[in-house]
Structure 1
Amino acid sequence: MTPEEIESAVDAGMAQTVDDLKRLVVLPSVAFPGHPEAPVLEAAALTERLLRSAGLPEVRQIPVEGSFPVVFAEAPAPPGAPTVLLYSHYDVQPAGDTALWRTPPFEPTEIDGALYGRGAADDKSGLITHVSALRVFEGRFPVGIKVIVEGQEEYAGERLQEFVETNPELVRADAMVIADCGNPHVGDPALTTSLRGMAAFTVEVRTLTDPLHSGAFGGAAPDALSALMRMLTALHDDQGDVRVPGLARGVFPGESGSEETFRATAGVLDGVSLVGTGTLADRLWASYAITVTGLDVPTVMGAINAVQAVARARVTIRIPADGDSKTALDTVTAYLEKVAPWGAQVTFGDFVIGSGFQATSSGPARTAVEAAMARAFGRAPRQVGQGGSIPLVATLAEQFPEAEILLYGAEDEGAAIHAPNERVDLGELRRVIATEALFLAEYGAAAR
């Protein structure tokens, strides 16, 4: 197929693409404990049907121990052609407070060229990108195809890592496309070449056997919540930089966006300053970041006049691609123990770690995808990092060091992933689908 024929086929298929994406988004496929499993399994079944509709001759669900099934599909490579692995996930984040959504989270709604709904971007747009790009070829693929779509990335991504380590031949490929990220802004094409790793833990502080009356004991009895607050605020200096010894700030080699654009995208309130020093790229993609993501303390509505005996916090560390997650975890927990006041008893648990990723080479797949993206977007892509983590990527890089790993997608910084009012821009989705179809054709032709 010519590039013109590919782009025409993508355009002709967009109505079905949007319809299929709506069918996915309407399913509340939240794979977190406490949420119903039926919608997650429905999403797996729909994923299987969609991949079959793309002309793949082999499609099946594969059980994953302790998790939801992987949907796997495969088509053999033509003689002399390479094989490409396409990855995405069909599970989504919980909706959170539905009062903060302008449209119901699981009722996909089109507004001004965008589709709103939980998972519309992360990562059902990645899944529909693969399906729609493959449909262009009507079963006559220019390269070998493998597709793996997991069902619990948002909660327990390490389950697929274990699956890949146990079944390496199932996913072995010359190039691997991870469609679970995107561009800084709509229409601004980018390839993600750096991912921060992550670590997370729960810290518990105890100072008393039981809570005490704040009038009778306050002023002398050590308050566990106050102790925890002092420990957590000690993690950053007055400028907002991490001040834990051993966690140095890094420098990102690529372009950095403007603070004005970042403020608008992040919704930073007027008069509130950004935190940290260095360029935005340095802070977001190449340096450590520590965030308190949850607290177990009495609510304001449920508060009583008491000195607290125990308080807990959930803490997440984002780690530069060249950093070690376990070392960072040990460093931060040791620091919190050191700064705990009044001899408070400190314990840690619920540990999670994940490695980062740094692209180290450029080969024929990278060349092909850059050319495809330049045609689809009308401008050459740039190199960006991503502050988040994709647990599978580091495992693939370690297991298959010879494979080229490509990260792109239809998400953008305004897509509100993991937040209320998540959306995917449908024009951006169309350009990313065209990128993938053009890439598959160019990569196969170059090999032959």
Structure 2
Amino acid sequence: MTETLQPHPLLAQLTEAVQGGMPVAIAELGRLVRIPSVSWDGFDAAHVATSAAAVKELLDQLGVFDSVEISRAPIDESRMGQPAILATRAAKNGRPTILLYAHHDVQPPGNAEDWESNPFEPTVRGDRLYGRGAADDKAGVMAHVAAIRAFVETVGDDFNLGLVAFFEGEEEFGSRSFANFLVQHREQLAADVIVVADSDNWDVNTPSLTVGLRGNVTFKLTISTLAHASHSGMFGGAAPDAMLAAITLLATLHAADGSVAVDGLTSRESATPEYSEDKLAHEAALLEGVASIGHGPVLSRLWNQPAITITGIDAPTVVNASNTLTPSVTVKLSARIAPGQSATDAYDALEAHLTAHAPFGAHLEISDVDRGDPFLVETGGWAVAEAKDAMHQAWGVEPLETGIGGSIPFISTLVEIFPDAQILVTGVEDPDSRAHSPNESLHLGVFQRAILTEAVLLAKLESRA
């Protein structure tokens, strides 16, 4: 039986403050979207620094933090990570501390011709704001900023709740300095509750609290068969070219139905909400006549089973094709790991499979390896109950507890460094946000309800001893 919703005493005032602040929040988000803060190698790191400075300015303007700084941590002995913003305010009178996480870096835009508008020019069409980072995850940054602003407008600036804002600058490039950053700023980042605003919602009318995340293993795989290119007419049919070897090897990763066929990669049994094949076809944009892959309930495939995708291939382009046998081909392999398996064990299984199935004696080289463990939220804590109640009040419907097919690898690092903190994975995205894809967008109604959710949560924690 659904319990009668008991509105928070400040709900009406918080709602008015959030609504009144929406034009400013959208404008500020637009300014962030205009900064092409791609954190990948090969892109101008100065843009990430510009983005960090812009976010710092937003936090400074709130006027509630004891300290706001831009900081970088080392990746290793020779490389530094991208700039992150860290703001802190100490708790008073026995109140808890809440850490608000998001990231201000973005994915590369991809091909400009695939966008209906400039990826770095925020554009409103209908009820959506389009642009790279408009949803993932500059909207997460702005949801935190706007929620704090509405909270302070409602309760005043002399509140007792401890606040930490941590906005990372390299999440889209693997959070490679993340662990070192946590160690470097451990005391400043310590919190009772951590809100990670980097996930999605069930749809534009129904909020979700993400309680399960797949892990990931990514690496470059180079397949080589020849010391140099040779004439395909003279040697084709006898000498194995690297493209043939690559196609043959990669085909062994999947069964005939498209499910993963790598021994040692595990699945997890868990009940999932109803999600039809038609819904998958719509939300994943399957072309007419294209069937889904894998077996079992759709959401089990997306949340609780492994997946392997080849996300890039370095090989001769069609325009530069010549009649030669290719000596080497490099691919980028991305594997999603089901909750319950470590990323290290998954990598070992993938490496063993590739080595065992290398055709024609092809030479394999694996490089640039990234690993991130899966994560399951402990749903019995008081913070989960508070967050779900805040969602219910802000959205007017009860939230769902969901998994997600994507990965947020650093969460397992947060748990390791701060084992007593309660983790809440929320977000401002919806199934049509197209994060990482062309025409990424933010539903402005979802944005407003996400801000109100967090403002209500802050008010609830302010009154909690």
Q: Report the TM-score, using the length of structure 2 for normalisation.
A: 0.94
Give the Å deviation of 1:321.
1.9
| Identity fraction in percent | 39
2:266–2:338 Cα contact (<8 Å) kept: no
What secondary structure, in the 3-state scheme, does the structure 2 residue paired with 1:180 have?
strand
Give the Å deviation of 1:248.
3.1
1:177–1:407 Cα contact (<8 Å) kept: yes
CA–CA separation in structure 2 for the residues paired with 1:355 and 1:141: 37
What secondary structure, in the 3-state scheme, does the structure 1 residue paired with 2:461 have?
helix
Moved over 3 A (4+): none
1:40 aligns with 2:48: yes
CA–CA separation in structure 2 for the residues paired with 1:332 and 1:144: 44
Unaligned runs of 5+ in 2: 1-8, 75-79
Given residue 415 of structure 2, which amino acid in structure 1 is its aligned partner? A
- What's the counterpart of residue 16 of structure 1? 24
Q: How do residues 371-390 of structure 1 correspond to structure 2 at under 5 angstroms?
A: 371-390=389-408
Give the Å deviation of 1:345.
1.6
- What's the counterpart of residue 73 of structure 2? 64
CA–CA separation in structure 2 for the residues paired with 1:292 and 1:214: 26
- The count of corresponding residues between Structure 1 and Structure 2 is 447
Match of 2:145 among 126, 131, 136: 131
2:216–2:336 Cα contact (<8 Å) kept: yes
Give the Å deviation of 1:38.
2.4
What secondary structure, in the 3-state scheme, does the structure 1 residue paired with 2:24 have?
helix
2:268–2:339 Cα contact (<8 Å) kept: no
Q: Which deviations, in whole Å up to 9, do the C-alpha atoms of 1:111-153 show, x marking residues without a partner?
A: 1011100000000000000100000114344521001011111
Given residue 436 of structure 1, which amino acid in structure 2 is its aligned partner? E
Unaligned runs of 5+ in 1: none
CA–CA separation in structure 2 for the residues paired with 1:170 and 1:356: 26
Is the deviation greater in 347-356 or in 49-58?
Answer: 49-58
Is the deviation greater in 250-259 or in 385-394?
Answer: 250-259
1:54–1:132 Cα contact (<8 Å) kept: no
Q: How do residues 102-141 of structure 1 correspond to structure 2 at under 5 angstroms?
A: 102-136=116-150, 137-138=152-153, 139-141=157-159
Given residue 109 of structure 1, which amino acid in structure 2 is its aligned partner? T
Give the Å deviation of 1:214.
1.1
What secondary structure, in the 3-state scheme, does the structure 1 residue paired with 2:369 have?
strand
- What's the counterpart of residue 306 of structure 2? 288
Calculate the aligned-residue CA RMSD, in Å.
1.3
CA–CA separation in structure 2 for the residues paired with 1:265 and 1:156: 26
Is the deviation greater in 249-258 or in 303-312?
Answer: 249-258
Q: How do residues 214-253 of structure 1 correspond to structure 2 at under 5 angstroms?
A: 214-253=232-271
1:28 aligns with 2:36: yes
- What's the counterpart of residue 280 of structure 2? 262
1:199–1:318 Cα contact (<8 Å) kept: yes
* Alignment CA distance shift 1:253-1:54 (3 Å): farther
- What's the counterpart of residue 98 of structure 2? 84
Give the Å deviation of 1:444.
2.5
Give the Å deviation of 1:39.
2.0
- What's the counterpart of residue 300 of structure 1? 318
1:56–1:73 Cα contact (<8 Å) kept: no
Give the Å deviation of 1:388.
1.3
1:364–1:443 Cα contact (<8 Å) kept: no
What secondary structure, in the 3-state scheme, does the structure 1 residue paired with 2:420 have?
coil
What secondary structure, in the 3-state scheme, does the structure 1 residue paired with 2:219 have?
strand
CA–CA separation in structure 1 for the residues paired with 2:374 and 2:340: 7
Given residue 70 of structure 2, which amino acid in structure 1 is its aligned partner? Q
Q: Which deviations, in whole Å up to 9, do the C-alpha atoms of 1:9-34 show, x marking residues without a partner?
A: 10111111111111111111112222
Give the Å deviation of 1:329.
0.8
* Alignment CA distance shift 1:36-1:87 (3 Å): same
Is the deviation greater in 340-349 or in 422-431?
Answer: 340-349
1:161–1:395 Cα contact (<8 Å) kept: yes
1:50 aligns with 2:58: yes
2:266–2:341 Cα contact (<8 Å) kept: no
Given residue 266 of structure 2, which amino acid in structure 1 is its aligned partner? A
1:441 aligns with 2:459: yes
2:73–2:184 Cα contact (<8 Å) kept: no
CA–CA separation in structure 1 for the residues paired with 2:42 and 2:436: 18
Match of 1:144 among 138, 141, 162: 162
Given residue 347 of structure 1, which amino acid in structure 2 is its aligned partner? E
Q: Which deviations, in whole Å up to 9, do the C-alpha atoms of 1:171-216 show, x marking residues without a partner?
A: 1100000001111321121000011111111221221111111111
Is the deviation greater in 195-204 or in 252-261?
Answer: 252-261
- What's the counterpart of residue 420 of structure 2? 402
